[in-house]
Amino acid sequence: MHNLISLVLGYILDLIIGDPQNAPHPIRLIGSFISKLENKLRCKCKNEKDEYKSGVILWFVVVFISFLIPFFIITLAYRYLPVVVAIIIDAIMCYYILATKCLKVESMKVYAKLKQGNIMEARKFLSYIVGRDTKSLDETEIVKACVETVAENTSDGVIAPLLFILIGGAPLGFMYKAINTLDSMVGYKSEKYINMGRFSAKADDIANYIPARISAYLMIVASFIIKLDYKNAYKIYKRDRYNHLSPNSAHTESVCAGALDIKLAGGSYYGGTFVEKPTIGDDIRKIQLDDVKISNKLMYATSWLCFFVGILIKLIIVKVI
């Protein structure tokens, strides 16, 4: 029950404060640790097999430590500190894991610049939240990329961390964030990471397999709640949920595209190379700037739905036990 209270407080903190940009952040510390350990391991690599083994070691060390440190902090806090203090520490940890407001804030920075007619600044802010090249994108392409990243990150940035916390508290939440951060830093098919990042990429696919599908169905229900085209959301989800290089990314993207009656995805430039990708959704109407706001509204509704349903299920389990 204490962990449940901590989650509620952490979730509220995330909605009110969002990501503290200039303060020390555990996820940024995990990212720094990944970079340093990667450099040390890479120095000892002589061939492709060494790189792959180093990538496996990198994954296990980072994930293990990311789970172990918060586990011991929370365990010791509840054992030796007043319960109220322990709950606050636990809540702050949950808060650092969640990113609902952060996703909205970062995407709305792009929206604000486009609203001002400043396409150069919009491209710059978009480059902070997407992996594709943004320097030559026009307004429509910027909006589409922004909606796509909100939709995709609804799963791995919002719902998945929430699910892991519901299952195993902040320690399991940090473990998931470590897996996700490893994938975002080394899980590429570039020459540099094709071997060292392969294990991290596969592990991230496995970790997000169930959350991505839960997120999609929650998003369909959320689209009904906020009066979007939920019937088309379900239709496009069933048809286009695998229209992505990743086995998980198109699940929430397809729901979002269907709910908004727009077409997303398609080919883009990454590191100067054009990568052909299938489209998601139908071009029922042309994508508009306000779709960034609507996608955020859908993301928030999905987040709230997951939170309340998750808390309800957790309460039932606690009561039964």
Residue 180 has pLDDT above 90, yes or no: yes
Least confident segment among 101-105, 130-134, 196-200: 130-134
For residues 289 and 295, what is the distance between their CA atoms, to the nearest angstrom?
Answer: 11
For residues 260 and 173, what is the distance between their CA atoms, to the nearest angstrom?
Answer: 31
Q: Are 33 and 177 in contact (CB under 8 A)?
A: no
Residue 168 has pLDDT above 90, yes or no: yes
Tokens standing for residue 161? 């961390």
The residue-averaged pLDDT of 19-25 equals 75
Tell me what pLDDT residue 55 has: 95
Nearest Cα residue to 299 out of 141, 98, 139, 130: 98
Residue 249 has pLDDT above 90, yes or no: no
Q: Sign of dihedral through CA atoms 286, 291, 294, 298? A: positive
Tell me what pLDDT residue 190 has: 79
The residue-averaged pLDDT of 147-167 equals 95
Residue 30 has pLDDT above 70, yes or no: yes
Tell me what pLDDT residue 23 has: 67
Q: Are 279 and 144 in contact (CB under 8 A)?
A: no
Which run of H or of E encompasses 190? none
The residue-averaged pLDDT of 243-264 equals 93
Provide the terminal-to-terminal Cα distance of the chain, rounded to the nearest Å: 11
Residue 78 has pLDDT above 70, yes or no: yes
Percent of the chain topping pLDDT 70: 99
Q: What letter would DSSP give residue 131?
A: S
Structural domain boundaries enclosing 128: 2-320
Mean pLDDT across the chain, nearest whole number?
93
Question: What is the distance of C-alpha 105 from the center of its chain?
Answer: 14
Tell me what pLDDT residue 321 has: 61
The residue-averaged pLDDT of 170-188 equals 94
Convert the pLDDT of each residue in 224-247 to its tens digit: 999 999 999 999 999 999 998 889
- What sections of the chain are H helices per DSSP? 2-16, 26-43, 48-80, 83-97, 100-115, 119-127, 139-153, 160-186, 198-225, 230-240, 250-260, 291-320
Convert the pLDDT of each residue in 42-71 to its tens digit: 988 888 899 999 999 999 999 999 999 999
How many domains does the chain divide into? 1
Beta bridge partners of residue 265, listed in sequence order? 279
The residue-averaged pLDDT of 290-313 equals 96
Tell me what pLDDT residue 229 has: 97
The residue-averaged pLDDT of 91-109 equals 94
